[in-house]
Amino acid sequence: MNMTLRQLTLFKSVAEHLSFTRAAVEMCLTQPAVSIQIKQLESHVGMPLFEQIGKRIFLTDAGRELYAACQDIFSRIETLDMSLNELQGSIKGRLKLAVVTTATYFTPHLFSRFLRQYPDVNIRLNVTNRNSILERLANNEDDLVIMGQVPEHLNVQAHQFLENPLVVLAPANHPLANERNIPLSRIAQETFLVRELGSGTRLAMERYFDGVELGLKVGMELGSSEAIKQGVIAGLGISVLSRHTLTLELAAGIIKLLDVEGFPQMRYWYIVHLSEKKLSLVARTFLEFLITRTRDVLTEAEKTLVEAGMHINEPHPHIMIAK
């Protein structure tokens, strides 16, 4: 069977997009050029790799087998590349990271500083919710995962690298804004805005209130910390979020932290990987960077943000965020 890596790369792109047009754009080719290469590959295989139903295309059984083989082939090539770099002592190559959405409020500053120090590293970043993070972790899809609560059902190594205080936030004009040591029984009477089911923040909040035998009056369920902040500012209710998400709002005075009994609830951020996973030199270097440099980098970043009155949100050119 005579097939080239170029053909396999094209096939993998078509298989992942299930679209010749999107694959052509990704590979900087014309659609007819992609179609010709796939036809040649099908000729080598001796069977069709795709079938068209209406306007959509699907992988055939042979296509699925070849796609699985492609994943293995390209994973081995990437591992070889990393191993050769390691033998040379070179810190370069791709670093695959997954982070929960709340962590995106501080991780860009860490990525920026790390890439300044190691410009030959390319970060592929997947931002998603806790449930998806757990699935990715179980399937070993990433080098490292940043999350707020370590899973108990997976055999993982978790490295604590940053405090994650959970705080109670309210609009600046809330009647309780200037109260001190507000009892939990009083705060439980308020309407809460909460994250979606499966969110680590919601899980921690519910565990705490369940532990003190107090129920929450849920007003709205929202899919992001940003949506919750806007809801709080609009007066729809109060909430519990990570302090890391609130730097600009607190500096602007549009949100107030309530002084509630038992808060802030101290949690931690962890960088996690499967226990049996062999980390590349790039991954080990990033892990060590997070453990030793995070506090200094974020202290400096928060000071800069508050003084500038703006959030630095532009992605670094070496970071590709998965859609």
User: Taking a C-beta distance cutoff of 8 angstroms, is the pair 168, 263 a contact?
Assistant: yes
Of the pLDDT bands very low, low, confident and very high (cuts 50, 70, 90), residue 323 is very low
178/260 same-domain check:
yes
Mean pLDDT of the chain: 88
% of the chain beyond a pLDDT of 90: 63
Question: Is residue 85 assigned to a domain?
Answer: no
Domains identified in the chain, total number: 3
Q: Given the structure tokens 């500038």, which residue do they identify?
A: 308
How far apart (Å, rounded) are the C-alpha atoms in residues 12 and 191?
49
Same domain, 226 and 104: no
pLDDT at residue 312, rounded to an integer: 39
Q: How many C-beta atoms lie closer than 10 Å to residue 157's C-beta?
A: 15
Q: Are the C-beta atoms of 305 and 312 separated by less than 8 Å?
A: yes
Supply the pLDDT for residue 237. 96
d(CA 112, CA 109): 5
158 and 193 in a single domain? The answer is no
When pLDDT is cut at 50, 70 and 90, the band that residue 15 belongs to is: very high
pLDDT digits 0-9 by tens, 116-158 = 999 999 999 999 988 899 999 999 999 999 999 899 899 999 9
Nearest Cα neighbor of 202 from 173, 232, 235, 242 is 242
CATH number of the domain to which 26 belongs: 1.10.10.10
Residue 84 in domain: no
Q: What DSSP character marks residue 191?
A: E
- Tell me: do 142 and 282 sit in the same domain: yes
32 & 158 share domain:
no
What are 33-53's pLDDT values in tens digits?
999 999 999 998 999 999 999
Higher pLDDT, 317 or 186: 186
Mark whether 250 and 294 lie in a shared domain: no
Q: Number of C-alpha atoms within 13 angstroms, CB side, residue 245?
A: 24
Mean pLDDT calculated for residue range 247-271: 93
Q: Are residues 293 and 282 in the same domain?
A: yes
Contact 19, 57 (CB under 8 A): yes
pLDDT of residue 313: 42
Kindly state whether residue 155 falls inside one of the protein's structural domains.
yes
Q: Is residue 244 part of a domain?
A: yes
b/e burial code for range 174-189 (CB count within 10 A of at least 16 → b): bebeeeeebebeebee
* Domain final residue, candidates 76, 110, 130: 76
Same domain, 274 and 260: no
Percentage, residues of the chain above pLDDT 70: 93
Asked which of 266, 287, 311 is the last residue of a domain, the reply is 266
Evaluate whether residue 233 is within a structural domain: yes
Range of the domain at 311: 91-162+268-321
Q: How far apart are CA 207 and CA 212, in angstroms?
A: 9
Cα–Cα dist 196/221, whole Å: 6
- For 16-35, the pLDDT digits (tens) are 999 999 999 999 999 999 99
* Rounded Cα gap, residues 12 and 154, in angstroms: 30
Q: Which amino acid is at 68?
A: A
Which of 51-55, 86-90, 160-164 is most confident? 160-164
More confident residue, 315 or 184: 184
Same domain, 260 and 170: yes
* pLDDT > 70? residue 310: no
Residue 82 has pLDDT above 80, yes or no: no
CATH code at position 314: 3.40.190.10
Clarify whether residues 235 and 275 are in a common domain. Answer: no
Residues 6+ apart with CB under 8 A from 56: 18
Distance CA 105, CA 89 (A): 32
Residue 83 in domain: no
Q: Token digits for 73? A: 């082939």
Predicted confidence band of residue 311 (pLDDT cuts 50, 70, 90): very low
User: Is 128 inside a domain boundary?
Assistant: yes
16 and 139 share a domain? no
- Give tens-digit pLDDT for 141-150: 999 999 998 9
Judge whether 294 lies within some domain: yes
Q: Are residues 244 and 215 in the same domain?
A: yes
